[in-house]
Amino acid sequence: MKAPVGVGEPIFVNFYAPINEEAIHSLDELDLINYDPNEKPINLLQREKYDKFAYNECLRIGAHLQKYRAIELLRMKAEFVRDQYNNVWLVHCSDIQVRKCSATTFL
């Protein structure tokens, strides 16, 4: 990753899933207001909506963990970096909280 000064512009995302103690969440339930499943990631980058792109990537990470590893992502602080070519890179995650869920729910 190259940038003229430093490593690029940081983008911070504090991801919180709504808490439901009795059932796991589908991807559509995670954030109906901020997530548009029809929005292609490249369109967000082209329109320079880097914060929304980074947030959507956190939702995708959560969906993949839930679908393929039977782990529900409840909370995560993620740090992305935007380089000089407007590529957005995930560089660090912390304060990650998860819980186990049924492996057969999405398979």
Q: What span, in angstroms and rounded, lies between the C-alpha atoms of 68 and 10? A: 29
Res 103 pLDDT > 80: no
Q: Does residue 76 belong to any structural domain of this protein?
A: yes
Please give the tally of structural domains in the chain: 1
| 2: in domain | no
Of the candidates 70, 33, 71, the residue with the CA atom closest to the CA atom of residue 55: 33
Taking CA atoms, 78 is separated from 11, 40, 49, 82, in Å, by: 8, 21, 17, 13
Please report whether residue 105 resides in a domain: no
36: domain range? 9-100
- Is residue 32 included in any domain, yes or no? yes
Q: Is residue 3 part of a domain?
A: no
40 lies in a domain? yes
For the entire predicted model, the pTM comes to 0.72
For residue 100, the SS3 value is strand
Residue 106 within a domain: no
Residue 1 lies in a domain: no
Task: Assess whether pLDDT exceeds 70 at residue 35.
Answer: no
Taking residues 87-92, what's their average pLDDT?
92
